[in-house]
Structure 1
Amino acid sequence: MPTRILLEGRPGVGKTTAVRRLASLLRTRTPVGFTTEEIREGAARVGFALETLDGRRAVLAHVTFPGPPRIGRYGVDLRVMDELALSALAPLSPGPAAGVLALIDELGGMELASSAFRAAVEELLTADIDVVATVHARHAPFTDALKQRAGIELVHVTAQNRDALPGELAARLET
């Protein structure tokens, strides 16, 4: 049975850092997927960038983007999800290569505004593929349903466990 872990935590607790560290610690697995990060101008957050684990990067959402969709004050560029994020997961289709692990940061409102990405997540979680993804702690219908699925392990990321978590997950995923 494949491993399916959702790393749940509040904004800023270290979910993205944990996923990046996990990817760097893997020796016998090939991570595919993406991470997201804030774009700041001085002290102000003005957007979010998506970076694939193979180094491609694009602006996913920004205060200057018109949308739709708009998530809070950010317009979201769905092409980034539909092209860049999905292509980062493409090595998993139609079936997984030996040793490949899907890492997704994050299953949040901006990312899930893409219906193609939501469908890809559903497909990943029914396939014979190991998946580690981050998810916000607040309630939303799509992610609430994922958290309740059979076979999903929900791990709460906190300030107390965030530093040890990547090493623990790497050891577990490489056995």
Structure 2
Amino acid sequence: MRFFVSGMPGVGKTTLAKRIADEVRREGFKVGGIITEEIREGGKRTGFRVIALDTGEIGRLAYVGYGYPRLGKYVIDVEGFERVAIPALSRALRGADLIVIDEIGPMEFKSNEFLKALGLVLKSEKHLLATVHRRLVDRYRPLGEYYWLTPENRNAVFSEILGRIKGLLKEK
């Protein structure tokens, strides 16, 4: 089963993905994939990092600066992203009960290797929880269950998705 979560920036998509990953792991299941977090300096967002859920390895996804490829004010560090994300997704495909991808978005799409890995994940029978950039919702909505996260519904969405995933994993 695939679960896709979208919403406005700052609504809690990454937090939801991390909380579900932690809870599923506490139940004794293997969780793999990636989480993307903001890098902040002096209260300002200066970039993004990617973290492998199984190893904790960290790579840089984007930073404010000069260079290419770009997305808005950010330079995408394709090599830094791929160094962590691609092996993490490969390991998740081989051994995880749940794959988490945070986020499927325009920055990540600058990596052809990520697009290939995402394709393999989507073709697999693995359970998937993915956060999706709001502009890409229509592309992923037909591929699984879709949730639009808001401050008002985020606790209910967390409980619903977690309950569904735990139920699916216990059926195995």
Does TM, scored on the shorter chain, surpass 0.5? yes
Q: In structure 2, how many angstroms separate the alpha carbons of the residues matched to 1:160 and 1:10? A: 13
Q: Classify the secondary structure of the residue corresponding to 2:154.
A: coil
Q: Does 2:146 match 1:154? A: yes
**What percentage of residue pairs aligned between the two structures are identical?**
37
The match for 2:38 is 38
Q: Which moved more, 1:74-83 or 1:127-136?
A: 74-83
Equivalent residues in 2 for 1:1-175 (5 A)?
Answer: 3-26=1-24, 27-53=27-53, 54-64=55-65, 66-93=66-93, 96-97=94-95, 100-138=97-135, 140=136, 144-149=138-143, 152-175=144-167
Q: In structure 2, how many angstroms separate the alpha carbons of the residues matched to 1:153 and 1:28? A: 24
Deviation at 1:58, TM superposition (A): 1.9
Q: Classify the secondary structure of the residue corresponding to 1:58.
A: strand
- String of CA shifts for 1:63-83, please: whole Å, max 9, x gaps: 12x332101111011113322
Q: Which moved more, 1:115-124 or 1:13-22?
A: 115-124
Q: In structure 1, how many angstroms separate the alpha carbons of the residues matched to 2:92 and 2:41? A: 36
Amino acid in structure 1 at the alignment position of 2:42: G
Deviation at 1:169, TM superposition (A): 1.9
Query: What TM-score do you get using the length of structure 1 for normalisation?
Result: 0.86
Deviation at 1:164, TM superposition (A): 3.4
Q: How many residues align?
A: 164
Q: Is the CA contact 1:67–1:77 (under 8 Å) kept in the aligned structure 2?
A: no
Q: In structure 2, how many angstroms separate the alpha carbons of the residues matched to 1:106 and 1:46? A: 17
Deviation at 1:166, TM superposition (A): 2.7
Unaligned runs of 5+ in 1: none
Amino acid in structure 2 at the alignment position of 1:104: I
Which runs of at least 4 in structure 1 moved beyond 4 Å after TM superposition?
none
- String of CA shifts for 1:87-143, please: whole Å, max 9, x gaps: 1112244xx44x6110010011111110111121122111111111001212x4xx5
Bigger fraction of residues in helix? 2
